[in-house]
Each structure stands twice: as structure tokens, then as C-alpha cells.
Amino acid sequence: MIGTRVDRSKTGTPPVVPISSHGGCWEGNAMSLEENKDKLSECYKINKPVLLYGDNSAGHIDLIHGIHIDNGGIRDAVEYVRVKEEPDRKVFLESIKNESSNALIETYAEVKEIFPRHDGIIDDDVYNSQFGMMVQAKHYSIKEKLYCKVREAFKSTKKTWVYCNCDRSDEDSLCNNLSAIGDWRNFDEIDDPLKEGPLITSGRYLYDFKGTLFIDNLKCDSSNIRDVEHYWKFGMEISNKNISVHWLVAYVSSLDGFPKNFLKQFEPIPLDNSSNEVKRQKKKAIVSPVEKLYKPEANIEGKEIEECQASKLEVKLKIVQGKKEVYWEGNQLSNIKKINFSIILKLAKTPGKSVMNDTLHVSIDSKHNKDVLLNQRIYTIRNSFPSPYSDIKHPQCIIPDAKKNKGCRYLNLTKEQVEIV
């Protein structure tokens, strides 16, 4: 995926290429490769999103990755931020691996004592199944503590890097990939047989990741209202500074079809003689029928934008702690009671941010299979909400799918949309 790093060594001080102050001027002549490097480096330093466009044969991935590395970046999605007990990364991972293996051996021995083998009394398959379930239940709390240690030691920082190729993604999968929790880093060194694979650190690329995010091969079909809508919302998230990414870079082969408010968030940099393309885009007066239907884009600076921004500030979820009541857009969700109320309250206190399963387990009155019971509780809570917020496949799902959460959950709302009284 990543080729040879771009060599930016040169003599003397390079001239500073001006950065447009209003979200991209979208005019001018194509620049040389060296001028592109200088401008990209300036954008990196001031956290200015960049949109590359045109011919990508010059190696745009290596170009951006080289800028990232030259500014002190690393090649991984997470960085070892160290722990007090162990400043060395390899020694830390080895200690976690050994701790996990020893805990598993001890758990097997403990279960064998309380569940001895009685030949002929229990069928082999039944015994093995029950034995395995007991081991898994006992070992769960131990391994979760170990995984929490790893997640605390490896975090996304300004130095980290993620490349996301959207070449074969439709607008729904793109939205899910960037907004929902995805896998950042596999720790093959820590392979737990009870988890059937290595430990994985996870997070949301737009809202949790803090390094350089390069989104490659974006396309927009202006005849598809969902496509236009997603890119328009993407532009609003950048404009409102809701994303956590230090440096956002995207590449498109053509600017056709993208909403104006999406394009205006970026510093445009042509990779070839495509500067005429942006002039053509700017002069084009015709707005597609879909963009007219999607009113915020038809009048990007007008009343519709204000209404959309205002809707982001409207309270959707209201929680009354004293009465233990939950309201959605003014309507009480009477199915959310007792333990389920306690769970959604914990999630609502930090909307949009990950809450570890261990924190939510406190609400569940059981010593065994807490993760399974939590899944059941989340399922009930989610189905209390109207569609599409109850739809686990929809990007607006109130509590997104747990398959990629890897030990944590989050409430899919902004802090302005939640009120706790």
C-alpha cells in the first residue's frame, strides 16, 4: 500500500506557497512537484484539509505519506505512548502476552478442580462444551483488564497514519467506514485462543483518530440523493470542526458531482494540468436535480444551512435521572427501565465517545457472561428507538454494531443533542 517514502531533502529554505484562507480558491495554474510538497507541508502544519485531484500516476499515496513522515509522523495507526511500569514497547507487549498465557493456564487448572472429569457420566462433547464455557466465563474479566492495559498504552496521536481506499465503496459503506468503529491495529503478538485471534485496537476514523487520515479514490454520483447528502454532511462536519483528525487528505480523479460545501472545505491541489477543471467547476451554473431536491446544497449559504445547523443543536434525547425516564424528541421511551436506563445514562454522559464495556458491566447483576447479557440489553435499548435509529445497519443507529467495538460502546449523538436533568 505504501511505497518508498518521498525524498524531500534539498538545500536552502524553500519558498512558502500561500494557502488560500477561505477554504480553497479553486483557481490557478498547476504547480511543480516541489511546489506541491511545499504547499502540502504548510497545510499539514496548520491542519488544513487537502483535496488532491487529477492524474494520480505521479504516486499520490507516496507523496502524502512522505509529507506525513517528514513532519514527524509514523507509519502505524497507533503509537506506543508508554506506561510507567514499562517504557519499552516490545518488553511491554511481551509482558502482556505472558500475563495472558499464564492467566489462561491458571484458569484451566481452576476449572478442572471445580469441574472434574467423570468417565462415562457426561458425554465427551457435552463435557468439552461446558468446560470451555466455564473457562471462557472465568477468564473474561482477566483478559479484559489486559486488553485495557494495551489500549491505554497504544493510542492514536498526531503522529499516526491511516490510509482508507474507497475505490469500491458506495456512499453508505463510506459513511459507515468513516463514522462507525473500525479496526485500527492488530496486535498479532497477543493471540488469545478464547478470542479466536489477536487483540485489535479500534475507533472511529473521523471522531476518534488523531493523526493523518488519507481517504483515497472518492467519487460522487450527483444523481444519487443519498450520495450527495452524505458528502454534504461530511462537509458540514469538517466545517463545524467536529472531526478529530489532525490532517485530512482526500483524492478524487474528477470533481464532478461533489456538493459545493464539501469542496470548499479543502485546499485544492492538482496533480497534473487539471487547474482548468476547477475553473470549469466554478463557472458551471447548472445545479443537478438531486442537489435542488437536497435543499441545503441548492442554497449552500442560505436559510437551509442555518436550519440544518440548528437541527444539530436541537435536543433529541432527554434523560430525567430522578424519575428514571428517557424521552426521544419529546416522546417517552417507556421500555427503557432499570438496568437499561442505567446503561443508556452512562452512554449519554459522554455522547459520541467510547465507553468501555467494563464500565457498563457494573449495571448488570451477574458474575458470568456479562458481555452476552450486555449485548441483549443494548439490543432492547436500540429497538426502543424509532427507525432509522434502531437500524443497526444505518449510519444513524443510536448504538452502533458491537462486532467492531472491541470492548466498548458509544451513543451516536452529539453532546448538543443530549440533555440530562
Q: What is the mean pLDDT of residues 172-179?
A: 67
pLDDT in tens, 298-320: 444 444 444 444 444 577 899 99
How many alpha carbons lie under 13 Å from residue 168 in its C-beta half-sphere?
0
Together in a domain, 48 and 166:
yes
Together in a domain, 58 and 47:
yes
**Can you give the pLDDT at residue 305?**
42
- Kindly indicate the confidence band of residue 25, based on its pLDDT and cuts at 50, 70 and 90: very low
Higher model confidence: residue 309 or residue 246?
Answer: 246
| Segment holding 418, helix H or strand E | strand 418-420
Q: Residue 390: which residues within 8 A CB-CB, separation 6 or more?
A: 382, 383, 384, 397, 398
**Can you give the pLDDT at residue 165?**
86
Together in a domain, 345 and 365:
yes
pLDDT in tens, 255-279: 888 888 899 999 999 887 555 555 4
Sequence-ordered strand ranges (E) for 253-339: 267-270, 317-320, 325-328, 331-332
Q: What is the mean pLDDT of residues 237-252?
A: 92
Highest mean pLDDT of the ranges 81-95, 160-174, 279-293, 332-346: 332-346
**Can you give the pLDDT at residue 21?**
41
Q: Is the pLDDT of residue 185 over 60?
A: yes
Which of 258, 293, 310 finishes a domain? 310
Choice among 46-50, 133-137, 170-174, 213-217 with the minimum mean pLDDT = 170-174
The mean predicted confidence, pLDDT, of the chain is 76
% of the chain with per-residue pLDDT over 70: 68
Residues comprising the chain, all counted? 421
Together in a domain, 182 and 272:
yes
CATH number of the domain within which 393 lies: 1.10.10.10
Q: What is the mean pLDDT of residues 37-43?
A: 92
Euclidean distance between CA atoms 421 and 408, whole angstroms: 25
Residue 390 exposed, middle or buried by CB count within 10 Å (0-12, 13-18, 19+): middle
Q: Is the pLDDT of residue 14 over 50?
A: no
Together in a domain, 278 and 193:
yes
Boundaries of domain holding 136: 79-155
- Kindly indicate the confidence band of residue 33, based on its pLDDT and cuts at 50, 70 and 90: low
Higher model confidence: residue 378 or residue 223?
Answer: 378
**Can you give the pLDDT at residue 272?**
72
> Grid coordinates 524553500 are at which residue?
14
Euclidean distance between CA atoms 155 and 244, whole angstroms: 13
Q: What is the mean pLDDT of residues 322-330?
A: 92
**Number of domains, the chain:** 3
- Kindly indicate the confidence band of residue 198, based on its pLDDT and cuts at 50, 70 and 90: low
Together in a domain, 291 and 188:
yes
**Can you give the pLDDT at residue 358?**
81
Together in a domain, 223 and 287:
yes
In a domain, 220, yes or no: yes
**Can you give the pLDDT at residue 167?**
75
**Can you give the pLDDT at residue 275?**
52
Together in a domain, 84 and 51:
no
The dihedral through the CA atoms of 254, 255, 259, 262 has a sign that is positive
Largest Cα separation within the chain, whole Å, is 84
Sequence-ordered strand ranges (E) for 161-286: 161-165, 181-192, 197-204, 212-218, 247-252, 267-270
Together in a domain, 250 and 233:
yes
Together in a domain, 61 and 91:
no
- Kindly indicate the confidence band of residue 296, based on its pLDDT and cuts at 50, 70 and 90: very low
Q: State the CB neighbour count (10 A cutoff) for residue 367.
A: 9
Q: Give how far Cα 98 sits from Cα of 91, 139, 201, Å.
A: 11, 14, 19
Which of 123, 155, 187 finishes a domain? 155
Euclidean distance between CA atoms 39 and 57, whole angstroms: 19
Highest mean pLDDT of the ranges 123-132, 252-261, 338-347: 338-347
Cβ(14)–Cβ(34) under 8 Å? yes
